[in-house]
Amino acid sequence: MPGFEIPRHVAIIMDGNGRWAAARGLPRGEGHRRGVEALRKTVRAAGEMGISILTIFSFSAENWSRPASEIRDLMGLLRRFIRNDLAELHQNGVKVRVIGAREDLDPEIRKLLEEAEDLTHGNDGLTLVVAFNYGARQEIARAAARIAAEVQAGRMEPSDVTADHIGQCLDAPDLPDPDLIIRTSGEQRLSNFLLWQAAYSELVFVPTYWPDFDREALETAIAEYHRRERRFGGLIARTGS
């Protein structure tokens, strides 16, 4: 993308697998499988374009309410993605990070997520943040519980709590907030995704269903991002990311 400074951190709500399948008379599972293909292409494109951090909303805390058969399909795809793609991600220098609650996960799924993190821990290429069993309200509640425990133990006073302190208690406090959040499928809401971190993110909603998302769609979203003026609450727009 000549002439464009690439945002450092891009986050994507990958939406529309089921509607993509329904529009073609296919089962929802096929939409999810094609969504994995779109993910592969997007991770590859993000690395080639120089994006430093790509966060994907892969499975929300609310998704457990879906039919059991669909959850089995999704978990199967997660297993295959890690087993089949992890070696290539590692070879390409991708570092995998996982955010979200892990305590009640199936031990096999939890082990796979930890395996992905452990294998790629030392990589210095694209950081791929996988939001799995994730909900932003739940993340903020976990942060509040950690702070409450500190207060209860006498290690800090309630008056010591600041926005920065809350941020440091979130799931990945070392990562910068996303510059750009993209949601596919035409829906225009965050759906409990990165609510704290999105305070000053640019939001771009695209009509494309996730299985059809590709490098061109990513470049178009970034072009829209560059048409925005990011003031961060001030009067003067800041350039760059």
Residue 90 to residue 121: CA distance in whole angstroms: 9
**Per-residue b/e over 24-50, b at no fewer than 16 CB within 10 Å?**
eeeebbbbbbbbbebbeebbbbbbebe
Residue 159 to residue 170: CA distance in whole angstroms: 19
CB neighbour list of residue 106: distance below 8 Å, 6 or more residues apart: 75
Reduce the DSSP state of residue 46 to 3 states and report it.
helix
Residue 183: beta bridge partners? 13, 205
From 15, 73, 171, 179, the catalytic residue? 15
From 17, 63, 123, 164, the catalytic residue? 63
Element (H, E) at 97: strand 95-99
Closest to 38 in 3D by CA, of 224, 185, 191: 185
* Contact (Cβ atoms closer than 8 angstroms) between residue 184 and residue 12: yes
Residue 170 to residue 168: CA distance in whole angstroms: 6
| Catalytic residue status for 73 | no
Termini Cα distance of the chain? 15
Phi, psi values for residue 180, rounded to 5°: -135, 130
| Catalytic residue status for 192 | no
Q: Hey, which residues are catalytic here?
A: 15, 63
